Structure 1
C-alpha cells in the first residue's frame, strides 16, 4: 500500500491524518527496537519536508479536495465529446414532488412516467412504442443537457415488454446514447401460457442487449429489484457505470413472501406425503424467519454496506446525481457495440 502514493504522478497528504510507511510502529519496534509514533514515522511533515514521497501538504480534508481539483485541472486533456449536448433545462415539476409520487407501500403501483417527468430536462420524454409492451416504459430525453435513453418499469416484464426493451437498447447502442434504467421490477412473467409463448427467449433478448451494450449505463433502483428482472434492468452484474438506490428500494433473488411461500409449499408436500398435517399457524411460524431474513438482507443499507451499489441517494437528488454520473462517464470514449445472437 505504501508504494501506491510513491508511484502516483502527484500525491496529497493531510496534516496529522495521513501516514505512509512500509512498516508501522509495532513492526519497527519488533524489528529494530526503535520506538516511534505513526506521525514521526510517516506523517505529512516527514513526507512533504524530508522524504519527498508526497507532493502537496493539506491542512485538512477540505484543503485536500481543493488540491486534488487543482491537480486534475492540470492534466492537460480534453474530454471526448461524442454526444449532442444542449443547454440544460429544469423540469417543469419540482424534484421534491417525487416524495408524493412514489407510495410508501412498495406493492402499490404507480406510473414511472411521473418520476421521469421530475428528472429530465423540461419534463420532455419522447416515448418509444408507447402502445406496445406497456409494462416497460422506454423513451428518449435529456438530463442536464445530455441525451439519454430511459427504461422504467411499470409492472412485471412480459414477452412483449422484453422485446420492446431489447429493440430500444439496440437503437441507443447504435446511436451511442447513454442508457438510464429506473428499476422497480418483480421479474419476468411465469406460467404455462408464458413459457409456451417464449418468455425465456424474449427475456434472453433483453438480457443479451443489456449485457452487450457498450454505451454508458446508469441504474437507479427506485423500488423493488427481484430475480431475473434485475438482470434485464441492468443490475450490478451487467456493468452499469453507476448504480444507486433510493431509501425505499429492496433487492433480492425474490421477495421474502414469495421465497417463504416456495419453501412452505415444499414442506407441506413432504408432510402430506408422510400422512402428516400442518396447521395454518404452523405454516405461518415456518415462513416468518425467511420473511424476516429477506427483509433484512434486501434492505438498501445492507446492500450498500457490501458495495452492491454506489450509494443510497435522496430521490430528489436523482437528476443531479445522474447528470454528474453521465459527465464522469464521458471521460472514456464510447465504444462500438457488437451484439450476440438473438433467438427469434
Structure 2
C-alpha cells in the first residue's frame, strides 16, 4: 500500500482565494441549473401542474428506487448559447427496481425549437451511453401542449442510435404521458415496450399497455424493469465497503480554483481514491505524466494524469505501456486533465477497457467525460460540469454503470505498438 501524501494546506491565503474563485464559478453553474429546472417558465409549470401532471424531474424521481442516487447528465446543456438551458430534456442514470437504467425524460413545459440541435444531441448521447454500457433505457415522453402530434421526422442519427440498443439486445421502455412530436417520437416508436397514459396519451402509435394516470404509468414501467431478470456482466467492487480518502474532498475546491494546471495531480488522487492509496507506475520516468493503480468505490482503476507539462517520447512510451497493462488486467482507465498525443490516442483507440475522463475532452473516446466549472460555459464535449467535491461520487457512479457490461481488455494480440519504456 502506498498512501499519498499532500502538500495542500487549505487554510493558507492562496488556497482560500482559489476556493473563492471555485465557489463563484459554482454559483454561476447553479444559476444555469435553476434555468434548466424552470423549464418553460413559472406560468407554463403552473398550468402543467394544474392539469394534474408531473414535471420531468418529478417523473424521474417517482420512477427511481427510493433514496437511490440519480446521475443527471449534461443538465446545463446549451448553457451560454441562444437556446434553452438544459435543452428541455432530462437524461441520466438511476436505479429502477435494483437495475441501473438510462432515463430520458422530455419537458412538456418547454416548446420545441426545430432549429435547436441540443435536444436531439442529448438524447443521442444518452442512447449511445445506454448501448455501450448495457443499460436498459426508459423514456418518459410528452411534448408541449401546443406542439402538433405526429410521428418522428424522417431519417436521422437518433433512429440509428436508438436502433443500436435493439441490435445489442438492450431493452427499451417508454411511458407516453401526452402528445409527442418531433425527435421525441422516436422513443415510443422504437421502444420494445410502450405504456400510454389512458386519458393523456396520443400521437405515439399503439401501446402495449394502458395506464390509468401518470403514477400508474410509472408503476407499470417499474414493473417492466423488475421482470427483466437483468444482471450485471462486469465484476462487482473488489473491496466493500470502500475506505474513504484520507484527505477532505472539500479541498478540491482550492485545486479547482487554480487558473493554470500547475497542481500536482496526486493532490486530486489523494482526495478521490479509496484510502488515498495509489501505486505509482514508473514514478521517476516521464514525470510530465502520472500513471498508477488504485481503487475508487471498490473498483480497481488505472489512472493517467497530466501535470500540464508537454509530453516527450518517454511520457508517450510510458502511457502506451500502461494502457497495455490495463487491458491485460481488464482494468478501467481514469484520465485526469491529461492531454494525449497521436501515439497515445492510437493506443487508446485499441484499448477495450472502459475509459472515464475529467477535464480531458473526448480524446481516447471515454465512456463518460466531465469537467469542473470554468470561467466560460462548458462546450459540447462534457457529460456534465460537476462540483469538484462530487468528483469521487460521480466517478464511482460511472464505474458502477460501466460494469453493467463485460469489462474486458484487448490484451496482447498485436494491436498495440511497443510501448515498453527503456530503463
Q: Distance in 2 between matches of 1:130 and 1:65?
A: 52
Query: Take 2:212 and 2:282, find their aligned partners in 1: how far apart are those partners?
Result: 57
CA positional deviation for 1:309: 2.0
Distance 2:176 2:223 in 1: 14
Query: How far, CA to CA, are the matches of 1:58 and 1:180 in structure 2?
Result: 43
Deviation string 1:130-159 (CA, Å, 9 cap, x unpaired) is: 111111100101111000001111122222
- Give the C-alpha shift of residue 327 in structure 1: 0.9
> Mapping of 1:31-110 within 5 angstroms?
45-47=199-201, 52=207, 55-56=210-211, 59=214, 68=221, 70-82=223-235, 85-87=238-240, 88-106=242-260, 109-110=262-263
Aligned counterparts of 1:180 and 1:58: Cα–Cα separation in 2: 43
Q: Distance in 1 between matches of 2:218 and 2:265?
A: 37
Does residue 1:128 correspond to 2:254, yes or no?
no
Distance 2:219 2:273 in 1: 31
The answer as to 2:369 corresponding to 1:215 is no
Aligned residues: 236
The one of 378, 381, 393 equivalent to 1:320 is 393
CA offsets per residue over residues 227-273 of structure 1, 9 Å max, x none?
Answer: xxxxxxxx425321111111138xxxxxxxxxxxxxxxxxxxxxxxx
Determine the structure 1 residue equivalent to 2:179: 19
User: In structure 2, how many angstroms separate the alpha carbons of the residues matched to 1:205 and 1:94?
Assistant: 36
Residues 224-263 of structure 1 mapped to structure 2, 5 A cutoff: 235-236=361-362, 238-248=364-374
> Could you say if the C-alpha distance between residues 204 and 236 of structure 1 is closer, same or farther in structure 2, counting changes exceeding 3 Å?
closer
1:148-163 matches, within 5 Å, as 148-154=301-307, 155-163=309-317
Bigger Rg over Cα: 1
TM-score normalised to structure 2 length: 0.49
Residues 79-116 of structure 1 show CA distances to partners (whole Å, capped at 9, x for unaligned) of 11346621111111121110113443226x11110001
Q: Distance in 2 between matches of 1:300 and 1:339?
A: 41
Q: 1:237 to 1:138 in 2, by over 3 A?
A: closer
1:19 Cα deviation (Å)?
2.0
Residue pair 2:175, 2:218 contacting (<8 A) in 1 also: no
TM-score calculated relative to the size of structure 1 = 0.59
Q: 2:221 and 2:175 mapped to 1: Cα distance?
A: 7
What is the alpha-carbon root mean square deviation over aligned residues?
3.4
1:67 to partner: Cα distance: 6.1
Take 1:168 and 1:128, find their aligned partners in 2: how far apart are those partners?
8
* Cα drift, residue 47 of structure 1: 3.7
Residues 1:119 and 2:272 aligned together: yes
What is the SS of the residue equivalent to 1:218?
Answer: strand
Superposition deviation, residue 54 in structure 1: 5.0
Q: Which secondary structure state, in structure 1, belongs to the residue aligned with residue 303 of structure 2?
A: strand
